[in-house]
Every structure is written in C-alpha cells, then in structure tokens.
Amino acid sequence: MPKDYLAYLSSLNNKQQEAACSDISIPLMIVAGPGSGKTSTMVGRILMLLSEGISPSQILAMTFTTAAASEMRDRIGGVAGKAIAKDLMISTFHSFCLQLCRSHAEKLGRTAEFVLFGHGQQRRAIIEAVRLWETEKNKDHVEDIQEGPNFFKEKSKRWQKFVSQAKASGSTSEQHMESGDHIGGSILRNYDEILRSCNALDYHDLISCSVKLLTQFPEVYKECQELWKAIVIDEFQDTSSMQYSLLRILASHNRMTIVGDDDQSIFSFNGADISGFDSFRADFLNYKEIRLNKNYRSTRYIVEAASYLIRNNTKRCQSQNALTDNCSGSKIFVKECYNESAQCAFVIDKIVEITSDGSTAKCSHGNIAVLYRRQVSGKLFQSSFRERRIPFNAHGVAFYRKKVVRAIIAMLKTVSPGCDDGTYRQALKALLHLEKEEKKRVVEHIGKISMTQKCSFLSAATDIFNAKVSGTLKRNQLTQGRKTLSTLNMISKLAHREQSISAVITSVANLIPQKYLLDQRAVIDVDGGKLLNEDNDVRSVLQYLLDDVSDFLATKFTANKLENEAINGDKGCVCVLKEFLDYITERESEHFRSRRSENKDSVTLTTIHQSKGLEWDVVFIVKVNESEIPLLHEFKESMRGTESLVEEERRLFYVGMTRAKKKLFILYVTMNSNWQLLPPSRFLNEIPSHLMETQADFTVKCPERKFAVNPKENAQVNSVVQNEEESFPTNMASVKETDVDYEAPNEALKAWNGDAFLKRFNSEDRAIVS
C-alpha cells in the first residue's frame, strides 16, 4: 500500500480503521452519529479499495450533492493524487442516472439530447397536463368543474406535488386508473406524454428510468456490472426506496459500503426512507456492521445537548449517541430577542466581537455559520451583513430562481434541440424591448393563438410577428417581435460559432435589455446575497454564472484540461453548453449547494437542510421558534402523522446543532413582524438547563402540548408564513404551498408566559420593535 494511504489510514481510530480496511468482498454498513468521522472513514475505504487493485474508474462513490462530491474528490486527491481522484466516479445519484439515461436514451423513447426538466418546466408541463385533462373532461361532460376554469392552473403546485410523489414512489398512471383514481391517472398520463413529446425527462424519471434500464435491458445490466466493481454511498439515510433499488441492482457483486446516520434523516418529504438500513440487512445477508462512537467534531456541551434532544424521538433504528473527549468549550448560549431585527443585531455584534483581533478566542469569518429553518429568515441577515460589511456567502437556490437569471438560462436553452415552449416564452419575454404591460399583452396574445391554432408558442410567435396571422398587435410590437426572433436566431448561431461557453454566456447576457435588468433590480435586492456584495448589474449576474462555468469545467474536464481543449476535441460548444445547463439544473434542485469559488473567509448563511455534512467553529441557529422549527404549515400539507413530522423536525434541529465545533448560539424571537407573540420552540425544553446559558429577559415557556391531528387546531402564529421560497429543492415533492392561512393564536399561547413579556414590552423599548 502506498505510504500516503497508510499515513491516512493510520490517522483514523481503531474502529474507523476496522471499517476502512474490512474485507472488501463483504458488504459493509457504517452507522454513526454526527461528527464521528463517517465521511473520513469513507475516504479511507476508497483508498483501501484502490490498494486492493480496483481501478479508480471502477469505483462508484455516491454522495447527495455536487459540492460533497467535489469535496470528496479533493480529499482523495490530496492523498492519492489528482490523476486518480479524477478517474473515480464520484457522483450524485442524479448525475449518475443522467449519464446512464443519456447513454441509453433510445431505450427510453428519447434521443441522447433529451432535455432535463427543472422545476419551472415541470410546473408548466403539469399545467398543460391538467388543461388537457380539463378539455377532455368538458368534452365528455363527465363531471362539472366546480371551481372554475382556472382552478387547476391555480392548484398546479398541488398537482406538481402529486406528480412528484407518484413518481418518487414509482406508481404509474395505469395503477392510479386501476385503483379508481381517474383524475390522477389521466394527469400522470398526460404529463408523461408531454415529456415524451418534448424529448424530456424530469428528476424522478432519471432514477426510475435507470432502474428500468437495469431491470429490463440485460445488456445495460451487464455493462454496469463490468464497469462498477465497488460502490460506496455517503449519507445513506437520505436514500429513497427507488434509489436503494438502483443501488441493490448495481451492487450485486456485494462490494458495497454504506455510510449513514438515521438520526440525520431530514429529507423524508423527498422520499428518503430510513428503512433502507433494514432493506440492506435483509438483502445483503453476509453484511458487516460497524458503529463509530466517538465524536471528533464538537465539545461536550454540544454533543450532550444534541443527544438529549434526539432521545425524544421514538423512531430511531440505530440510536447512536457518539461521545466526545473534548471537555473544553462553554455552554450553549440561548438568547431571547424581541424580534428579528434585534436577533440580527445580536448576531452581528457577536460576530464582530469574535472576529476582532482583541478577542480571546479569535475566529475567522469562514469558521462561522448562521443557520435558519427557512430561506426567508436569511434575507434580513444578508442585507444587514451587507450594510455592516461583514463578508458572507449565502447558499441557496435563489440565484437560479431570479427572473433575470432564468431569462439568461432560457435564452441559452433555446439553443438545445428539443427545447420546450415555456423556454421560448421566457426567452421572448426577456428580449422584447417593450413596456411591461405591453409585453404582457403580446405574450398573452401569442399564448392564445398557440392554444387556438394548436401550435407551439414559437411558431405562433413567428406567424404573428411576420404578420401571417391577423392579430391585434401594433406596428412597433410587430417590429420588436421580429427583432426578438432574429436575436434568438443569433443566439443559436453564436453557440455554434463561439469557442467557449463562457463567451456564449457573456454574449447572451449582454443581449438582455438593460431596462429589463433595472426592472428586476427589486427582485435582486430582496434576496441577492453575494450578488449585491458587488455591483448591482448584469456584470454581477454574469460573474456569478461564469463562476459556475468554472466549477462545472473543473468537475467535468479536470483542472488542467481547458474548456477550449474539450470543445476542440469531440465536443462542440453546443454540446458542452448543454452539459452545463444540465449541471446547473441539478445544482438548482439539490439540497445543498456551495460554491468552490466562493470567498473562503466569509460567514456562511444557509438553511439547516443545506448545512448537512458541514462543520464550523461557531454556529448560530436563529429563529428557533414554535411554528418555525417545528414548521407548522408542514402539518397542514402532509398526509403523514403529526408525530412523525415533529420527529423529522427534531432531527433537523439535531443536524443544525451538531454542525458546531466549539460554540453554539441558539436564538429565538418573541414576536413576528405583525406583533404577534411567538413562543420559543418546544425543542428548547428538551435540552437540560445545565447545558445552557440562557439570556432571556422573561420567563419563557415553550409549549409542550402535543399537536392535534387537525392542523386548524394547531393554528397559532402562522400568519408569518407568507409567500416565500423554502429551503427545499425546487423540483422535488417538497414544493411548499404559499397560501397558508392559519387562524389566530389562542390556546397554544397559554402555555407561554406572554403576560410577563407584554408587561415589560409595554414599559420599555417599544421603539426597538417598530
């Protein structure tokens, strides 16, 4: 075994070494709590596989995020060398499946250039599927549509959730029909048909189609068996049953290692299923199980508090509570704040204090994170950090949801063969130099013509602008339309002519009218994150996109092979561009994203979901209030039992707490922006007081009452849950409703000592709140 491998393995403890070095032909399960070195052991296991003569290109390592994949590649590269790390297949489930489906697209009724539908395209296809169903139904007069013609369009989110769930569980339109669910069955059938006609697949299809390829096409199975001699999976607890089926088929040679912690399973809304551990035990009978029980990450206070919390969960398969030798550190600091502004001010003051040169335990910005349950809670932090010039990186999917970015992406996508109508609509909207209202009317007019003439949006637009169809558009609108069409044409030529995708993206971004960008400035202002750290203009957006191009090229073509080489080789610019668009669609949808190119010495602002697997010296978890964590509107949305939802939320809080290495701050607010009282989270009651240092001005009680099954009864302070983006991946089953309308607080607040709060609040500091 090479010396560097040995050195790495000997840095592991005995249990970790035993796991990394156990017989590679025996399926291995490593189960352990947070910070116990699971990922570190997985790296050791890969080194072991390499030293046993398995070639890097035959090892498939699955992670859940592209960032985790590139981090793992870097770590292995650090020990085994970049060349070996480059040849390893370290991938997310989705990229792996995307590659498999592209290689065998014709077996799935698609061409290799099929389009990957992200959240927006999926939504548009669903609206179309529902509309088709409505038309069919009206024709047959089977039932009345009581809710009016726009009912299904308005409820498209619910249908999107339905379609995603059906796909995640593998249920087909035929099965829905057979079970008597004719509406669901028809919509699923229409949706699949639309995807087929657009030469597209969505995210769930990638997994189910890969399973189909492996089970129904023996040659694909054989090819994969020959290709992958060993499989290693990190964060196994987040594997869905469909993903597990895929793994089981791939790992029939038994050289499979899974690494996970059921207490950190936080994606059940997306189909993650911890029963995968039991399935593994049942399917791989000669498996070996190793538990790691030492926490290397956090101090005693953090480890103990987290394990007290998680003990309240009844559903725990592995029940691992890792211990730590690290007795240093201080108690968890729990702070009550009047409102979100006061909370933000406290965090900023603390950060300034601990990063200043005079601080006894000086900490760099890069070692600090602020975690929240919902993306919306990060907005105030972003603007305040900007004002106070505190460097930060805001992780989130918001960037790719911005209208201006979506417009650039839509324009780029028009170059891909099989681009859908919605993409043209978006691109056209971005390019039309018309007043907002005027533009809206033109786009609606094209939509109507395409509906009545049953033709695509693009061909309707072409006919209208070239005056082949008599219409109501004014002369200047027609001229604008023709210009826009020729610009779209130019983009296509550009992509075929340019030598690099960076050049194509730069040219395309510059085609967006400055006015359009100004229109979007408000949007950018609200949740711009890093964007507003720099100039608030197209250059910032562009720079951000070009950063992603660099990340993509680094992952795809290795650091020393330039994009130009790739393009001058077998791949044309259009082809590389298409791969890049797939790549960002994937990033847009994944649970966690971070940027390689981001400023390393910046405070991280992110959701708890996205903080998974990461660690920082100092962690602030903010807005730890009832209705935030646990997030109450989940109750209304979910069909699952209330108790299991609370348990999932508890696991989420557990993940948040265990990101901290040295110091953990937990903050909650006493009122929302509507001056409604907010009780602190019930989870704070579950941490023993001797582990906490509390700075609360009032006697605080967290509600202990169990939540009733009827969500209306749970209603209390949720008017705060307003239109917002969630921390969830956009294309998954997790799409959250925005029209949550809960009733006023009553009973639940009785448990909380609001009187004491009000008394004090009325006597002092009222100004702070306003």
Q: Please enumerate, by residue number, every residue annotated as part of a binding site for ATP.
A: 32-39
* Binding site residue list: 32-39
- Residue 296 binding ligand ATP, by CB under 6 A: yes
Q: Is 35 in the site for ligand ATP (CB under 6 A)?
A: yes
Nearer to ligand ATP, 438 or 615 (CB): 615
Nearest distance from C-beta of residue 659 to ligand ATP, angstroms? 7
The answer to the question of residue 39 lying near ligand ATP (CB under 6 A) is: yes
Does residue 261 touch ligand ATP according to CB under 6 A? yes
**Residue 263 near residue 91 (C-beta atoms within 8 A):** no
| Per-residue tokens: 39 | 């990922």
CB nearer to Mg ion: pick between 60 and 748: 60
Please report how close the Cβ of residue 301 comes to ligand ATP at its closest, in angstroms: 17
Listing DSSP states for 225-290 in one string gives HHH-SEEEESSGGG-BHHHHHHHHHHTTTS-EEEEE-GGG---GGGTB-TTHHHHHHHHSTT-EEE
Contacts of 53 (CB under 8 A, 6+ apart): none
Q: Closer to ligand ATP at the Cβ: 379 or 651?
A: 651
> 422 with 120: CB under 8 angstroms?
yes
Residue nearest to Mg ion (CB): 39
Please tell me the distance from the alpha carbon of residue 679 to that of residue 358, in angstroms, as a whole number. Answer: 36
**Candidate segments 35-43, 175-183, 323-331, 619-627, binder of ligand ATP by CB under 6 A:** 35-43
Q: Does 118 bind ligand ATP (CB under 6 A)?
A: no
Pick 39 or 533: Cβ nearer Mg ion:
39
**β-bridge pairing 89-92 and 200-202:** unpaired
Stretch that binds ligand ATP, among 27-35, 89-97, 126-134, 268-276 (CB under 6 A): 27-35
Interface residues toward Mg ion, by CB under 5 A: 38-39, 613
Alpha helix (H) residue ranges in 414-562: 421-431, 436-452, 457-465, 475-497, 501-511, 514-527, 538-557
Q: If you ran DSSP here, which 8-state letter would residue 323 be given?
A: B
Residue 297 binds ligand ATP, judged by CB under 6 A: yes
Contacting residue, 27, 34, 56, 120, with ligand ATP by CB under 6 A: 34
- 37 part of the interface to ligand ATP, by CB under 6 A: yes
What's the CA gap between 640 and 634, in Å, rounded?
A: 10
Contact at 8 Å (CB) between 305 and 278?
A: no
Q: To the nearest whole angstrom, how small is the minimum distance from the Cβ of residue 98 to Mg ion?
A: 24
Using the minimum distance from each CB to ligand ATP, give the nearer residue, 181 or 289: 289
Residue 12 contacts which entry, Mg ion, ligand ATP, none (Cβ below 5-8 A, type-dependent): ligand ATP
Nearer to ligand ATP, 297 or 587 (CB): 297
Q: Residue 359 — φ and ψ, nearest 5°?
A: -65, 140
Give the nearest distance from C-beta 304 to ligand ATP in angstroms: 17
Q: Length of the chain in residues, anyone?
A: 770
**Calpha distance 209→98 (Å, rounded):** 9
Q: Does 617 bind ligand ATP (CB under 6 A)?
A: no
The CA distances from residue 47 to 24, 79, 205, 259, in Å, are: 11, 9, 33, 15
- Burial of residue 661 (CB within 10 Å: 0-12, 13-18, 19+) is buried
Ranges within 3-22 binding ligand ATP (CB under 6 A): 12-13, 16
Judged by CB, which is closer to ligand ATP: 297, or 429?
A: 297
Three-state secondary-structure class, residue 579: helix
Total interface residues for ligand ATP by CB under 6 A: 17
Residue closer to Mg ion (CB basis): 263 or 563: 263
555 binding ligand ATP? (CB under 6 A): no
Report the interface residues with ligand ATP, using CB under 6 A: 12-13, 16, 32, 34-40, 261, 264, 296-297, 613, 615
